[in-house]
Chain A
Amino acid sequence: MTENLTRFYFDQEDHLFNWEDDQHTYEAKGSATNSQGMKIDLYFKVEDGRIVDAKYNVSGCPVLIAISAFYIENVIGKTLDGCHDFNAIGIHESIEIPNHKKDRMILLENAVDDCLGQIKE
Chain B
Amino acid sequence: MKEIIKQIYLDYASTTPLAREVVSEMEAVMSGQSFGNPSSVDHLFGKQAYEAVENARLDIASLINADAGEIIWTSGATEANNLAILGLARFKKNGFKQQVISSFAEHKSVIEPCLQVKKEGFELTLLNPNANGSVDINELEGAINEKTLMVSLMHVNNEVGSINDIKSIGNLCRQNNVFFHVDAAQGIGKLPIDVKDYKIDLMSLNAHKVYGPKGIGALFINHESVGRVEPILIGGGQERSLRPGTLATHQIVGMARAYKIAQEKMSSDHRHLRQCRELFIDTCKDISKLSVNGHSENVFPGILSVSIDGLYAESIIYGMKIAAVSKGSACNSDDDEPSHVLKSMGLSQSEINGTVRFSFGRDTEIKDVEYACRLYRDSVDHLHRLSGD
B-binding residues in A (CB < 8 A) = 10-11, 13, 16-19, 36-39, 41, 57-62, 65, 100
Tell me the complex Cα distance, A39–B314, Å: 15
Distance between A55 CB and nearest chain B CB, rounded to angstroms:
10
The stretch from B138-146, B227-235, B380-388 touching chain A is: B380-388
**Are B314 and A16 closer than 8 Å at their CB atoms?**
no
Name B385's contact: one of A13, A41, A62 (CB within 8 Å): A13
A-binding residues in B (CB < 8 A) = 310-312, 314-315, 318-319, 335-336, 349-350, 353, 382-383, 385-388
**Are A61 and B312 closer than 8 Å at their CB atoms?**
yes
Q: Which residue, of B312, B336, B349, has the highest number of chain A Cβ atoms within 10 A?
A: B312
Name B336's contact: one of A16, A36, A41, A58 (CB within 8 Å): A36
**Are B387 and A58 closer than 8 Å at their CB atoms?**
yes
Query: Given A36-B336, A59-B310 in contact, is the A16-B315 Cβ separation under 8 Å?
Result: no
Which residues of A have CB within 8 Å of B349?
A: 36-37
What is the interface of chain B mostly: helix, strand, loop, or mixed?
helix
Tell me the complex Cα distance, A91–B47, Å: 64
Tell me the complex Cα distance, A19–B389, Å: 10
**Are B382 and A57 closer than 8 Å at their CB atoms?**
no
8 pairs from A and B in contact (CB 8 Å cutoff)? A13-B382, A13-B386, A18-B388, A19-B388, A59-B312, A61-B314, A61-B315, A62-B314
Which residues of A have CB within 8 Å of B350?
A: 37
**Are B314 and A59 closer than 8 Å at their CB atoms?**
no
Tell me the complex Cα distance, A13–B381, Å: 12
Which residues of A have CB within 8 Å of B387?
A: 39, 57-59
Which residues of B have CB within 8 Å of A60?
A: 312, 315
Distance between A54 CB and nearest chain B CB, rounded to angstroms:
15
Query: Given A36-B353, A37-B349, A38-B312 in contact, is the A62-B318 Cβ separation under 8 Å?
Result: yes
Residue of B nearest to A57 (CB): B388
Name A11's contact: one of B310, B335, B382 (CB within 8 Å): B382
Residue of B nearest to A12 (CB): B386
Residue of A nearest to B313 (CB): A61
**Are B312 and A58 closer than 8 Å at their CB atoms?**
no
**Are B388 and A41 closer than 8 Å at their CB atoms?**
yes
**Are A16 and B318 closer than 8 Å at their CB atoms?**
no
Tell me the complex Cα distance, A39–B385, Å: 14
**Are A59 and B385 closer than 8 Å at their CB atoms?**
no
